[in-house]
Every structure is written in structure tokens, then in C-alpha cells.
């Protein structure tokens, strides 16, 4: 399966969320593609190094990451992503055939967004992806509102400073006029 072209990714940014799927098993990539194609745009990778490159290039909204892969495993990809400021906030859901509670706990202790056990239940996959994308959207909205609030606060502080400056400046007295005689005009 190939990655979407630039036009497809532009359309993803204009509406549908972008999810990067990283798995060395093409059957799982195909299964996930079929399960999520109505929900989001998908970008795929079959190894960890390529996944890191794609994450940097496209900044996906979510990553589905296989744990056991050749060359660089999912845990190493996760750690590298978290160490990179540009990638640190991207939610990552681990996918693996490792069913031990210790592995799940270890992944969640690393701050993984979630953990799916293979074989993947498609209904659970869709729900967990939806939940993570909703959380991501809400977090992004909150960050935008926080930035807007900070900007408004700065503008108000500036306006208040101007008002204080105006209040502390003495009013200019009106120029004195000269009167002739008793205040009657000459005529």
C-alpha cells in the first residue's frame, strides 16, 4: 500500500484527520485501511525509521504503531517521537500480539494513548481511534482558545496602561483670553 499523494494529504488537512499506520505486516495495514477509510485519511509505513520521517513530514493527528518490527521497534519509535518537540504531542496507540499485562503497563507508563492487542477487534479499533481523534481535536481547540485568551489579555493590559497614562497626565488648561474694559465689546 502506498502513501497518499500531496493532494490527498491537503484534503485531509482541510477536513478529515490524518492517521499514520505503522506495521510491518501488510495484512494488518490492509485490515486497518478497510476499517478506518470512512473515518480518516490514512498514511502507511512498514518500518520505524520511515514512520519517524513521515511523522515529521506530515504531523499526523494520530499514530497506530506496531510494537514488534524489524530494524527499530515500536517502543524505540515512540521514545524518539516523544523526544522530538514537533512530534511529542501526537497521540500514539500501540498495536501488538504481546498480550502480557506487563507489556501493556509498560506502554501505558510511557504515556501511550492506548494499547490494542492483535488480532485487532475492528469495532474496538474504530472506537479507540475515534476517541483519540476527538481528544486531539478538543486539545487543539483548547490550545487555540488559550492562545486567543492570552492575546486578548495582552491587548487589555495595553489598553489599561494607556488609560492609566491618560488619567495621570494633567489636563491642558484652556488659553486665557484678554478682556478689554468691563467685559463689553468695543463698538
CA distance 2 to 81: 22
CA distance 35 to 39: 8
88-127 confidence digits (pLDDT tens): 999 999 999 988 888 888 888 889 999 999 999 999 999 9
Structural domains in the chain plus CATH codes: 6-138 (3.40.50.2300)
Q: How confident is the model at residue 7 (pLDDT cuts 50, 70, 90)?
A: very low
Q: Please, where are the H alpha helices in 37-182?
A: 48-58, 74-83, 101-109, 122-168
For residue 6, pLDDT beyond 60? no
Mean pLDDT over the full length of the chain: 88
What is the SS3 assignment for 18?
Answer: strand
Strand, coil or helix: 83: helix
Q: How far is 25 from 64, CA to CA, in rounded Å?
A: 13
* Confidence band, pLDDT 50/70/90 cuts, at residue 141: very high
Amino acid at each position: 500500500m502506498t502513501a497518499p499523494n500531496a493532494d490527498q494529504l491537503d484534503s485531509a488537512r482541510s477536513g478529515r484527520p490524518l492517521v499514520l499506520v505503522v506495521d510491518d505486516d501488510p495484512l494488518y495495514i490492509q485490515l486497518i485501511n478497510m476499517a478506518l477509510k470512512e473515518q480518516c485519511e490514512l498514511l502507511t509505513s512498514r518500518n520505524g525509521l520511515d514512520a519517524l520521517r513521515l511523522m515529521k513530514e506530515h504531523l499526523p493527528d494520530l499514530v497506530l504503531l506496531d510494537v514488534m518490527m524489524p530494524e527499530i521497534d515500536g517502543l524505540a519509535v515512540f521514545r524518539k517521537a516523544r523526544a522530538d518537540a514537533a512530534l511529542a504531542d501526537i497521540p500514539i496507540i500501540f498495536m501488538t500480539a504481546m498480550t502480557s499485562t506487563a507489556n501493556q503497563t509498560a506502554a501505558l507508563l510511557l504515556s501511550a494513548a492506548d494499547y490494542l492487542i492483535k488480532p485487532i477487534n475492528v469495532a474496538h479499533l474504530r472506537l479507540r481511534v475515534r476517541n483519540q481523534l476527538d481528544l486531539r481535536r478538543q486539545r487543539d481547540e483548547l490550545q487555540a482558545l488559550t492562545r486567543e485568551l492570552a492575546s486578548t489579555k495582552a491587548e487589555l493590559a495595553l489598553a489599561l496602561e494607556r488609560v492609566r497614562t491618560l488619567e495621570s497626565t494633567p489636563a491642558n488648561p484652556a488659553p486665557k483670553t484678554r478682556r478689554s474694559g468691563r467685559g463689553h465689546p468695543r463698538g
